[in-house]
């Protein structure tokens, strides 16, 4: 059992990653609306959702393994596409509200249909994605094609009958949770009690009931009385995977606060504060900017959490607040480039991070369409590239290396030739298998491990 588990969801380095699929337009001309803004697997991994700047949600479904082909574990094909958010204008504040999908979260499956929450800066929506394979037939007063019959010819009543039809997938909005956020929503997270979720903006976190749209409870508010005293904003928030009263939120100052909702209705006071003392030798003008946390994720087990700041990924044990148990450098070679990264605004990029199904490997993105994996057991790391070259199925991805300075070896890429416009901010890992989804600007790459 143990052996199987280790092998199945094993280390990032011991498995060889192969190209599987790429989605999206091929041409280099990128339409703004097509830029992918979030990627999320559902709880079984059978569905994969992406959201984009155009407010669309695209859902891919893994094909059933019906053939005996060993190399492919079922490709992901488009299952449903729908417009989740439209651009809006807030007349009270004279603000444009972008349609960009900031986050998607799947609900645990409750019946044959699937449900997800999607959010832009202001409004969260609950969508139902359901299948229909029957349709009613038979009218009394008209033909199926809509022509009316002469009513006098109707001598018996006909009850419509459901007949099989081609499978149709429908997405319908079920709830709209609006008007609760003054600032931009950066996170949504569903509670393990299956009935509530939180939404976080720059200064506040609200708690919602999934069935109630006209009211939410404010549980965290860090807005100072005087906005000129503002020194810190909320950057991400997430519920604990199985302890329904616990959630964390990260801040722009590099701290993570853990709150216990049992203690009081307002969680302005945290019960734990995770913070690593700053290394004085690394102190610079950019220290505060690069320590800002862009993403926080609990491990599936609920024992650890991972945070991503600009240069590193840190793993924290929930029982140890004063320092992370593990720290992985994502692209330390950029430390000398911070000045130019500040000038081109890249230093404010919000990289996300994710765990593999067994919490043994973590993954996060970088520039030049590189993404990184760190194996927590072997402490080995790898850099891979999402690119259209060598994109034949089963092609094993070659590890990439960036040379920090001086002489460049063969196969190494110099820091100066990195393309900072190609960044991988959003990645997702299948909850059970070694299948990953990596979003480059407007393409979605799916890789999987090589099955021997």
Partner 1 sequence: MAGAAGPGTGPGAAGGNGDDSLYPIAVLIDELRNEDVQLRLNSIKKLSTIALALGVERTRTELLPFLTDTIYDEDEVLLALAEQLGNFTGLVGGPDFAHCLLPPLESLATVEETVVRDKAVESLRQISQEHTPVALEAHFVPLVKRLAGGDWFTSRTSACGLFSVCYPRASAGVRAEIRQHFRSLCSDDTPMVRRAAASKLGELAKVLELDSVKSEIVPLFTSLASDEQDSVRLLAVEACVSIAQLLSQEDLEALVMPTLRQAAEDKSWRVRYMVADKFSELQRAVGPKITLSDLIPAFQNLLKDCEAEVRAAAAHKVRELCENLPTEGRETIIMNQILPYIKELVSDTNQHVKSALASVIMGLSTILGKENTIEHLLPLFLAQLKDECPEVRLNIISNLDCVNEVIGIRQLSQSLLPAIVELAEDAKWRVRLAIIEYMPLLAGQLGVEFFDEKLNSLCMAWLVDHVYAVREAATTNLMKLVQRFGTEWAQSTIVPRVLVMANDPNYLHRMTTLFCINALSEACGQEITTKHMLPVVVKMAGDQVANVRFNVAKSLQKIGPILDTEALREEVKPVLQKLGQDEDVDVQYFAQEAISVVARRLHRPPGEAGVIPDAEGSERGRALRVRGRGQDPGRAHRKRAARAASEAAVEAAWFGGTDAAKGPACQLRVNPRDALALLEIADLVPFSRD
> Which residue, among 118, 71, 58, has the nearest Cα to 439 in the 3D structure?
58
Nearer to partner 1, 262 or 398 (CB): 262
Residues contacting 281, CB < 8 A, separation 6+: none
Q: How far is the CB of 129 from partner 1 (least distance, A)?
A: 11
Nearest to 100 by CA among 80, 115, 84, 116: 84
Cα 10 to Cα 45, 356, 424: the distances in Å are 17, 9, 23
**Closest listed residue to residue 83, CA positions, set 171, 193, 167:** 171
Report in angstroms how near the CB of residue 133 gets to partner 1 at its nearest.
Answer: 10
- Residues interacting with partner 1, by CB under 8 A? 92-93, 108-113, 115, 128, 130, 132, 134, 136, 139-142, 151-152, 154-162, 170, 174, 179-180, 182, 192-195, 211, 214-218, 221, 243-245, 261-266
Q: Pick between residue 68 and residue 265 the one whose CB is nearest to partner 1.
A: 265
Nearer to partner 1, 206 or 364 (CB): 206
Of 108 and 393, nearer to partner 1 (C-beta) is 108
- Toward partner 1, which CB reaches closer, 139 or 348? 139
State in angstroms the smallest separation of the CB of 46 from partner 1. Answer: 15
Q: What is the DSSP letter of 91?
A: T
Pair of tokens at residue 16: 């060889």
Comparing CB distances to partner 1, the nearer of 149 and 379 is 149
Cα–Cα distances in Å, from 161 out to 138, 144, 157, 158, 326? 7, 12, 13, 9, 62
Q: Strand ranges (DSSP E) for 110-215? A: 114-119, 124-137, 161-177, 185-190, 196-201, 204-209
Q: Give 125's strand partners.
A: 118, 176
Phi, psi torsion values for 233, nearest 5 degrees? -125, 160
Q: How far is the CB of 298 from partner 1 (least distance, A)?
A: 16
């Amino acid at each position: 059992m143990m052996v199987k588990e280790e092998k199945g969801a094993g280390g990032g380095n011991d498995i060889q990653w192969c190209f599987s699929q790429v989605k999206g337009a091929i041409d280099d001309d990128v339409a703004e609306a097509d830029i992918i803004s979030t990627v999320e697997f559902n709880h079984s991994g059978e569905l994969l959702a992406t959201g984009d700047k155009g407010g669309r949600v695209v859902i891919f479904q893994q094909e059933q393994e019906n053939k005996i082909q060993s190399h492919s574990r079922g490709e992901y094909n488009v299952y449903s596409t729908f417009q989740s958010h439209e651009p809006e204008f807030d007349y009270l504040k004279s603000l444009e509200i972008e349609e960009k999908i900031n986050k998607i979260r799947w609900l645990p499956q409750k019946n044959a249909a699937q449900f997800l929450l999607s959010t832009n800066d202001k409004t969260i929506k609950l969508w139902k994605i359901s299948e229909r394979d029957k349709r009613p037939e038979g009218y009394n007063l008209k033909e199926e094609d809509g022509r009316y019959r002469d009513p006098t010819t109707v001598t018996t009543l006909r009850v419509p009958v459901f007949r099989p039809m081609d499978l149709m997938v429908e997405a319908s909005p079920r709830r709209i949770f609006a008007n609760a956020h003054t600032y931009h929503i950066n996170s949504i997270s569903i509670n393990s009690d299956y009935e509530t979720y939180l939404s976080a903006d720059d200064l506040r976190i609200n708690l919602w009931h999934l069935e109630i749209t006209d009211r939410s409870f404010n549980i965290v508010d860090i807005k100072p009385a005087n906005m000129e005293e503002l020194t810190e904003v909320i950057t991400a928030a997430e519920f604990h995977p199985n302890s329904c009263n616990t959630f964390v939120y990260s801040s722009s100052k590099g701290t993570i606060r853990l709150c216990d909702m049992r203690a009081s209705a307002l969680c302005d006071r945290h019960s734990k504060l995770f913070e690593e003392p700053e290394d004085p030798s690394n102190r610079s003008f950019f220290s505060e900017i690069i320590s800002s946390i862009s993403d926080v994720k609990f491990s599936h087990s609920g024992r650890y959490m991972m945070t991503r700041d600009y240069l590193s990924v840190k793993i924290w044990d929930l029982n140890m607040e004063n320092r992370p148990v593990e720290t992985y450098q994502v692209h330390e070679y950029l430390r000398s480039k911070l000045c130019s990264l500040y000038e081109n605004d890249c230093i404010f990029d919000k990289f996300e991070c994710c765990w593999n199904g067994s919490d043994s490997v973590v993954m996060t993105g970088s520039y030049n369409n590189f993404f990184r994996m760190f194996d927590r057991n072997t402490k080995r790391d790898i850099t891979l590239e999402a690119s259209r070259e060598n994109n034949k199925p089963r092609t094993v991805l070659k590890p990439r290396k960036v040379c920090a300075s001086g002489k460049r070896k063969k196969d190494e890429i110099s820091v100066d030739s990195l393309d900072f416009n190609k960044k991988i901010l959003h990645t997702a890992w299948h909850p059970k298998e070694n299948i990953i989804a990596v979003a480059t600007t407007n393409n979605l790459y799916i890789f999987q491990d090589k099955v021997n």
